[in-house]
Structure 1
Amino acid sequence: MSTQTLDRAIGLLHLLAAAPQGCRLVDLQRQTGLTKPTVHRILETLCQHQMAAQDPASRRYRLGPEIALLAGAVAPPPYDLREVCADHMIEVAQRSGDTSFLTVRSGFDAVCIDRQSGPYPVKAFTVDVGTRRPLGVGAGGIMLLAMLDEEDRAGVYKATRQALPAGGAVTMKAIVAAVEEARRQGHAYSDGLVLGGVRGLAVPILAPDGKAVAALSLAAIRDRITRQRIPQLLSILKTHAASIEQRLRAATPAARR
């Protein structure tokens, strides 16, 4: 199997993971930009190895049982990221009054793995825990994308461009501009890139090796994230991100040595 074919197969697995209801062949073809015979051939191989499965009634493709077996064989990580961040997620929401999010990268997607709400009565629940969306959509996804090197960013841009709905409110031009701004500023800002009238801020959480392991973000209605209030909110985010990074270093054996 060539590297290109392997990349395509992994991309299809990510799309299947994002659609528990299953995907039609035509949907997978549209989202990947590949030809129908190519997608069908890769899916057939994945099905042969039980990494994908096709429902005989709906003809939709889903992840296969081999994925669960492989996942069960994975060595546990040195820390549970959500557990390490739990107290800080609550503190960020309480101190800001708004909604905090913890986002990680999964292939070409950003996945929300935790969300906490603050005391301000008007909430900005832009995504639920477990929600996947293309990297670059939302402050957390912008931050994670900004932390990638140029080659990886180019690959993500290509996948995101294909995943965005035609004629939607979010454009690649807006995503690229937000990512470049995040690279310059060291934090991400989103204004309506998820939901109209909602703004977001995000900072990276770095693993001991210096790579971004997650993004810590806040979302609120537009009037809550004003130019005057942004420095205060960024201070909250950066303080807690630094504390989380300290915990990660303490929890990582290699870093302790």
Structure 2
Amino acid sequence: MGKLGKSSVGESIIQFRADVRQAMNTIPVQGAQVVSRAASLLRLVGRKPEGCPLVELVRESGLTRPTAHRLLSSLAAEGLLDQDPGSGNWVLGPEILLLGSVASARFPLEDLARPSLRRLAEETGESAFFSIRRGNETVCLLREEGSFPVRSFVLHEGVRFPLGVASAGTAIMAFLPAQEQEELLANWPAHAGSFAAAHTAALVRANLEATRQAGYSVNPGLVLEGSWGMGAAVFDQRGRPAWALSLTGIEPRFREDRRAQLGRLLMEEAHRISTLLTHPPGA
């Protein structure tokens, strides 16, 4: 065999280094993709207390059935998910409860929001909710049932809506910087997904402006016909809308002559929580 020239050796070394870099870059990406897919499945399962069947998780996640089942089984093996023996639905597992209990100590939002929810439910008779912004979505965290016997079941703990959809998402989006609002509206059909048909970009723009003018949002049965909602944003220490209080109920309970009163109560409690977050007691 002949000797390799210096140029050949140099080229081989360069190629070897390139191959190593590619391998090093590929491994984390693959691992990150698995984590992302598993997290997506956890969020989908957590949207409803009764959990989700496999067919729905496959459809919503975009994963193939074998991939989804493999990830779900791995999550179940770690205690993060369970499969209900009766319905076959995948539901959140006991490890989620333990992790949530530990995390709640860092985020004492329930201690701050629960009194406001109780006051709203008691004074209005409607169901009151506290939602948080997560990325471009809102997630319902807390619920307090009102005394009125007929209720709307659109909103419950764990349910997610795109920003600009439902009363909490509208209340938050309305007070985001204009550039952030425009970025969402520019790609509205993709952002709103299945809600885009009832929530057109033009209608959402009008709702956002009305929310800024009034200080609270109104959802006139756009998510579910006959189920109305109203919301008010809660602001963090930087003055950004990060959470929202909302009330939901049937349409006759949200007539125009009552909406001003409900809006005032929502804004009062939202301001109360914002103040507690900005100036916590004893700080």
Compute the TM-score of the two structures, normalised by the length of structure 2.
0.64
Q: 2:231 aligns with which of 198, 202, 210?
A: 202
Q: Does 1:23 align with 2:52?
A: yes
Alpha-carbon displacement from aligned partner over 1:218-250 (angstroms, at most 9, x marks no partner): 335434434455444323322221122112223
Deviation by residue 1:40-77 (Cα, 9 ceiling, x = unmatched): 34334434544334568876433344434433443613
Q: Secondary structure at the match of 1:193?
A: strand
Give the letter aligned to residue 104 of structure 1.
S
Counterpart residue number, 1:135: 161
Q: Which has the higher helix share?
A: 2
Select the structure with the greater relative contact order (CA < 8 A; seq sep ≥ 6).
1
Q: Distance in 2 between matches of 1:117 and 1:56?
A: 33
Question: Given that residues 235 and 243 in structure 2 are in contact (C-alpha distance below 8 angstroms), is that contact kept between their aligned partners in structure 1?
Answer: yes
- Is the CA contact 2:133–2:242 (under 8 Å) kept in the aligned structure 1? no
Cα deviation, residue 28, structure 1: 0.7
Change in 2 beyond 3 A, CA 1:38/1:181 = farther
User: Deviation digits for residues 67-109 of structure 1, max 9, x if unmatched?
Assistant: 3443344361363x333234433444555x4415122138656
Instruction: Give the AA of the match of 1:172.
Output: A
1:10 to 31, 34, 39: 39
Distance in 1 of aligned mates of 2:142 and 2:205: 25
CA distance in structure 2 between the partners assigned to 1:84 and 1:57 by the alignment: 37
Structure 1, unmatched stretches of 5+, are 165-170
1:183 aligns to what? 208
List alignment gaps of at least 5 residues for structure 2.
1-27
* Structure 1 residue matching 2:279: 3-state secondary structure: helix
Q: Distance in 2 between matches of 1:220 and 1:57?
A: 31
Aligned equivalent of 1:82: 110
Report the Cα offset of residue 34 of structure 1.
Answer: 2.6
Q: State the identity %.
A: 27
Moved more, 1-10 or 49-58: 49-58
CA contact (8 A) 2:131 2:142 kept: yes
Deviates more, 1:235-244 or 1:128-137: 128-137
TM normalised by structure 1 equals 0.69
Larger Rg: 2
Given that 1:201 and 1:234 are in contact with CA atoms closer than 8 Å, whether structure 2 keeps it comes out as: yes
Q: 2:49 & 2:251 partners in 1: Cα distance?
A: 33
